[in-house]
Structure 1
Amino acid sequence: MEDHHGNPPTGLVAALARARSPKRPGSDTPAGTAVRPWPGPPCPIPEAGPADLDLRALLRLSLAASDTSGRLRPTPSAGALHPVDTELVVGTGCSLPPGRYGYDPLRHRVHHVGPPVDGTPAGVTAALSVTAQRTVSHYGHRAWPLLLLDTGHAAAALFLAARALNTGEPRVQLDGHAENPLAVVRIPPPDVRSPRRPAETEAPPTPAELLARRSTPPPLPGLPPHDALRAVLATAERAGHGGLLRWCAAVGPPRPGFVELAHGGTALRRHTSGETRPTLAAWAAGQTWLADAGTVLLAHGCPTDADAAHIRRAHLRAGFAVHLAHLTAQRHGLAARPVGSWQQADLGAALGAAPGRDWVVHALALGTRHADEENST
């Protein structure tokens, strides 16, 4: 059981150790409601004025479900369980009046839960927390890394939606210090005085790109072209900055092994040689299809002695970075699927370094052909 914030009672350090162990989860338990029971009646999100931040479009492009089951959304989630809850703190310049609102992604409605907080800035601040039971119901003791990764993906979805709508520059807080909320995304209203985005970032996504982003069902065969893989790795490294994580990619034939970025991100270099994908498949909860994926992009780090804040920060940042890397893969015509559950995945020890220092945290499987194309040949 979790406490009233959904935090593991024995601590996140112990929870991660259990999740990394070979122990298998038990039988499924009830997941509970798919949406947090916000108080008050659901309200539609008004149409935005010409100078307002369009919250209806922002949430449609990032978190809203597009089918009645609630599974089909612009942001991925382990097991399509979607444990992330979103409270909106709305200031001036938005399509909703200032106040605090709970978001219902199934109905694309909001619940007014309180007045605005003193000093609320213009625009919207999205506070992301989790209802752990949804993920625990299927993944059991393996749930907590997945909950954090899902939150990072949700933060990235909001970030990309803001960029697609040309809002003020979004600011993402993934520092790992808070247990609740786990992450905060602040999005100012459109403003020509917003600072210019760094030149090295990609062009803003279009709404169509965000709505088309989906996790490709396996298998994902086919080695991505050199330039496409370099671009995906570069996106992940930029988005996963902060020194907590390192990034590499396990590539398949004709020259299997690990590659990483070199020369300031302008080229790839070979880190090790030899086939590694079957081992990754065994580590990834026995997902055998990974052994035949064209490439597996890996975020690794988060040592055994990491404290709770480090664990939260590393996993939140990994989810955020993999989400942005997924969009880059999509732009290069690649099939892609995030992979979040990893057991005994001590990558450093497997490569001859000291054990317990360098664990697989998250991954993105990449291929050049989608499953339906492969099955039709």
Structure 2
Amino acid sequence: MNLVAALARARSPERPGPDTPAGPAVRAWPGPSRPVPEAGRQDLDLRALLRLSLAASDDSGRLRPASSAGALHPVDTELVVGAGCSLPPGRYGYDPLKHHVHRLGRQPDGTPPGVTAELSVTARRTVSHYGHRAWPLLLLDTGHAAAALFLAARALGAGEPEVRLDGLAESPLAAVRIASPGGQVPGRPLDGTHRPQPPAGVPTAAELLARRSDPPPLPGTPPPDALRAVLATAARASAGELRWCVAVGAPRPGLLELAADGTTLRRRAVGEARPTLAAWAAGQAWIAEAGAVLLAHGCPADADAPHIRRTHLRAGFTVHLAHVTARRHGLGARPVGSWQQADLGAALGAAPGRDWIVHGLALGTRHADEENTT
């Protein structure tokens, strides 16, 4: 698969064709399934980790903690389990609908204590609805799943997970390694790892289980302190891979970004951008009325495949963390992943093809259900 050509086509105005069958919602792992056992006092609780990050909350498979384009959830998870976990050491495939695992074989020699979740995708699920626009969405979804695992580990007190989003491999696309309770995983870290900072404070289990993408509309301009917090989370978590700004409406419409001090909002551009963003975001008209839209931008037109993978994985990861920050400030929020002709740099007068929108997060002070009751 030529990822460079796939991204160029996904960014074009070409519309996807009719829907096709999505296929099974879970990869057909071999062998019998088994529940994840309860954890001992000294074990990493894999049952709780997966429940807080990837498990479906109903039989449809649509309600999962990690956001996914079209609720299609294409991300598949293999667990490489070492000592100190609630599963015996080995390699397992995870079924998020049953919340069970399938043993696939032995763990590789030298597997350290703890678990590494390796994330790959079944592209057919997302292609079934989005067609040629699927590949950027598959990468964003993988980044969201990595962030869900990262936050779940933090909520369980498992220390600082190592997150691999380097974009070098086609499969697995990403990996999250979590230490056993005995301490930090020994040995060399994963290549290309980064230890991103989570939203301020450690999330609770209840907070993570309550994550949902709010349905539109999402009206109401967020206050400056909430916008600063969301932008600061994005800046910390994106490891310098992307730039971030937020489009706001009245009374002073424009694009805001963090100043060099990391705490002050500065105005990057003046004028109403949200209708244009709505047109670029697959024509989702409700975005024009959203209170604000957080934008991740970068990934030039001449980026190679590792660069494309790396920036999209990082964008999904970061927007997931920004979503949690937004909810902590009482905002409604909804990720926006499909963007066409969204050359933000060119729209602001810079050279074309250098600064494309990669991901977004619509924000509002009032949720759709609140709007319907007023």
TM-score (norm 2): 0.96
Q: Which runs of 5+ in 1 are unaligned?
A: 1-7
Give the drift of 1:130. 0.1
Distance in structure 2 (CA, Å) of the matches to 1:69 and 1:323: 22
Q: Deviations over 1:69-104 (max 9, x none)?
A: 000011110000000000000000000000000000
Give the drift of 1:199. 8.5
Distance in structure 2 (CA, Å) of the matches to 1:267 and 1:191: 40
1:261 lines up with 2:258 in the alignment? yes
Give the drift of 1:264. 2.2
Aligned to 1:152: 143
Give the drift of 1:190. 1.7
Distance in structure 2 (CA, Å) of the matches to 1:77 and 1:261: 28
Give the drift of 1:267. 1.1
Q: How does 1:20-31 map to 2 (within 5 A)?
A: 20-31=11-22
Give the drift of 1:168. 3.2
Residue number among 326, 330, 350 corresponding to 2:327 in the alignment:
330
Q: What number of residue pairs does the alignment pair up?
A: 366
Q: Is the 8 A contact 2:196 2:236 kept in 1?
A: no
Aligned to 2:242: 245
Structure 1 runs, 4 residues or longer, greater than 4 Å off: 192-195, 197-201
Q: Is the 8 A contact 2:118 2:172 kept in 1?
A: yes
SS in 1 for 2:34: coil
Give the drift of 1:266. 1.0
1:224 is matched by which residue type in structure 2?
P
Distance in structure 2 (CA, Å) of the matches to 1:97 and 1:199: 30
Aligned to 2:107: 116
Give the drift of 1:263. 3.9
SS in 2 for 1:148: helix
Q: Which runs of 5+ in 2 are unaligned?
A: 187-194
Q: How does 1:1-377 map to 2 (within 5 A)?
A: 8=1, 11-191=2-182, 202-242=200-240, 244-377=241-374
Distance in structure 1 (CA, Å) of the matches to 2:41 and 2:158: 12
Distance in structure 2 (CA, Å) of the matches to 1:161 and 1:264: 30
1:217 is matched by which residue type in structure 2?
P
TM-score (norm 1): 0.95
Q: Deviations over 1:36-91 (max 9, x none)?
A: 00000010100000110000000000000001100001111000000000000000
2:216 is matched by which residue type in structure 1?
P
SS in 1 for 2:308: helix
Give the drift of 1:142. 0.1
Distance in structure 2 (CA, Å) of the matches to 1:82 and 1:200: 23
Q: Is the 8 A contact 2:199 2:321 kept in 1?
A: no
Q: Deviations over 1:300-355 (max 9, x none)?
A: 00000000000000000000000000000010000000000000000000011000
Moved more, 286-295 or 163-172: 163-172
SS in 1 for 2:335: strand
Q: Is the 8 A contact 1:88 1:126 kept in 2?
A: yes
Distance in structure 2 (CA, Å) of the matches to 1:317 and 1:128: 14
Cα–Cα, structure 1 residues 267 and 194, in superposed 2: closer, same or farther, change >3 Å? farther
Q: Is the 8 A contact 1:169 1:194 kept in 2?
A: no
Moved more, 361-370 or 185-194: 185-194
Q: Is the 8 A contact 2:113 2:185 kept in 1?
A: no
2:311 is matched by which residue type in structure 1?
A
The root-mean-square deviation of aligned C-alpha atoms, in Å, is: 1.4
Distance in structure 1 (CA, Å) of the matches to 2:53 and 2:38: 17
Q: Deviations over 1:155-192 (max 9, x none)?
A: 00000000000013200000000010000100001245
1:238 is matched by which residue type in structure 2?
R
1:320 is matched by which residue type in structure 2?
F
